[in-house]
Structures are given as C-alpha cells and as structure tokens.
C-alpha cells in the first residue's frame, strides 16, 4: 500500500511514495499519469487547493494561518473561482477585490493551470485525495512552526532532518527524479507523504475539524 505526497514543480509534479519503510519518488509530467506509474496508491495528499469558494475566504485557510503563527505568510488564501477563470491578472484582481475585499497575488494566479488540472483529474483519481499545506504539516510534525524559510540553507536542513526523524530519508532519492525537483519541491512532497501516511493509519487531522462544503459539495479542508 502506497501513501503518496505530491507537490508541483516547474515542469510537472513530484510524488514521494511511502511503502512501509521504503521511500521513493517519481516525476509526473501530468497528474493523470499517477495511476499508471503508482498503481498501488491508497492515499494521496497534494499541495494544491481542492475546492474553490465563490466568494469570501475558506475556513481552512483562516484556521491554517492562525496555526502557522510566524509562518502564516507562507499560506496564500485560495482565490475565488471567478478570479482564477479570468483572462488576466489585472482582471482577476478586480474580481477578487469585489468578492473577497482583497486582490490576488501573481503567484496565486499563476497556479490556475495546476489547480484546474487537479480539479479535472479528481473524479478519476484511484484513491482518496486530500489537500495539504507543507508548512502546516511540518508544524504538526515538529509541534511548532518552523523558524527559518525553506528557501534558506538552515530551513532546508531543519526540514530534511525533521523528515529523517520520522523515517523519510530524502537523501536516497535518485538523480533521475532529483534533477527535476527543486529543493523545496522535494521537501514539500516529502512532508505531504508524511501526512498521507498519517491519514492512511487513521491518525490524520484537518482544519477545520469538520471540512467545509464547497459550492459543488466538495470537502474543503487542509489535512495534516
């Protein structure tokens, strides 16, 4: 049985796969490639929004920001659907301001293709798929928010060592995948896999504790 954590990278997706004590990783050009590449998937967690609000902010994002404390800026509010459907960032900003009271960052708008790619794939996913946020998972793992950015050497070492302490040694990932993954991509996929393993074992949690229902009945929560 495979517990899988997925994070987006520049050219596709990086998936860290946990099978018992085994740790491996695969590169996916498209998220829909997963079933053929990992046929024994039991639980998938992914660092991408699942469920877009029509207006306002998701309860999951508000709760996660509060939990992250000093790291709250690492979590972006999930945009409203109409903003992501806009043709330009300028148009998206106007729509978001009208529906939420705030604009939308360039980074969030740039994720629209990935968000809609996952949304289109979910009905055909081979097993349950849960949204995660890596900094929330690391906060749960270490019982407090991380003290340094993952973009720094210190932050990378903190996260790599935290993963090693729970049996996820990313040093063994081969060059074939490693060359495609940024440092933060691999760390984020690794901690997402940790959350997937917790969920598979029945030990996972979510914010909010009872997921909020989205406009189309989807469950909106951040799991850890």
pLDDT in tens, 2-22: 999 999 999 999 999 999 999
CA 19-20-23 angle, 5° bins: 55
**DSSP class of 104:** -
Q: What pLDDT was estimated at residue 159?
A: 98
Give 217's pLDDT tier (boundaries 50, 70, 90).
confident
Nearest to 214 by CA among 93, 63, 80: 80
pLDDT in tens, 29-67: 999 999 999 999 999 999 999 999 999 999 999 999 999
Which domains, and CATH codes, for the chain?
Answer: 2-51+119-207 (3.30.420), 59-117 (no CATH)
Q: What pLDDT was estimated at residue 155?
A: 96
Kindly tell me the sign of the dihedral angle through the C-alpha atoms of 33, 126, 174, 115.
positive
Q: At what angle do helices 134-142 and 183-200 cross, to 10 degrees?
A: 60
pLDDT at 160 exceeding the cut of 90: yes
Query: Are the CB atoms for 118 and 50 separated by under 8 Å?
Result: yes
Q: What pLDDT was estimated at residue 197?
A: 98
Q: Rounded CA gap, 172 and 170, in Å?
A: 5
State the chain's mean pLDDT as an integer. 95
**For 129-152, what is the mean pLDDT?**
96
Give 162's pLDDT tier (boundaries 50, 70, 90).
very high
pLDDT in tens, 54-111: 999 999 999 999 999 989 999 999 999 999 999 999 999 999 999 999 999 999 999 9
Give 125's pLDDT tier (boundaries 50, 70, 90).
very high
Q: What pLDDT was estimated at residue 215?
A: 85
Q: What pLDDT was estimated at residue 211?
A: 95
What is the percent of the chain with per-residue pLDDT over 70, rounded to a whole number? 100
Judged by phi (left if over 0) then psi (alpha if -120 to 50, else beta), residue 127 lies in beta
Q: What pLDDT was estimated at residue 99?
A: 96
pLDDT at 121 exceeding the cut of 90: yes
Q: What pLDDT was estimated at residue 145?
A: 94
Q: What pLDDT was estimated at residue 216?
A: 85
Could you report how far apart the first and last alpha carbons of the chain are, in Å? 19
Query: Are the CB atoms for 223 and 195 separated by under 8 Å?
Result: yes
């Amino acid at each position: 049985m495979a517990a899988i954590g997925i994070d987006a990278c520049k050219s596709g997706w990086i998936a860290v796969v946990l099978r018992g004590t085994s740790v491996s990783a695969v590169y996916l050009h498209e998220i829909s490639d997963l079933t053929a590449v990992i046929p024994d998937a039991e639980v998938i967690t992914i660092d991408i929004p699942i469920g877009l609000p029509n207006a306002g902010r998701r309860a999951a994002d508000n709760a996660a920001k509060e939990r992250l404390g000093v790291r709250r800026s690492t979590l972006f509010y999930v945009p409203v659907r109409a903003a992501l459907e806009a043709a330009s960032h300028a148009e998206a900003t106007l729509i978001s301001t009208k529906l939420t009271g705030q604009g939308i960052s360039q980074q969030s708008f740039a994720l629209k293709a990935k968000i809609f790619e996952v949304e289109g794939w979910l009905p055909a996913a081979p097993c349950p798929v849960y949204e995660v946020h890596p900094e929330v998972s690391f906060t749960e793992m270490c019982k407090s928010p991380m003290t340094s950015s993952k973009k720094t050497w210190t932050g990378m070492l903190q996260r790599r060592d935290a993963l090693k302490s729970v049996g996820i040694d990313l040093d063994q990932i081969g060059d074939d995948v490693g060359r495609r993954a940024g440092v933060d991509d691999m760390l984020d996929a690794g901690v997402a896999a940790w959350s997937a393993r917790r969920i598979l074992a029945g030990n996972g949690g979510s914010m909010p504790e009872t997921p909020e229902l989205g406009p189309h009945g989807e469950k909106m929560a951040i799991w850890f």
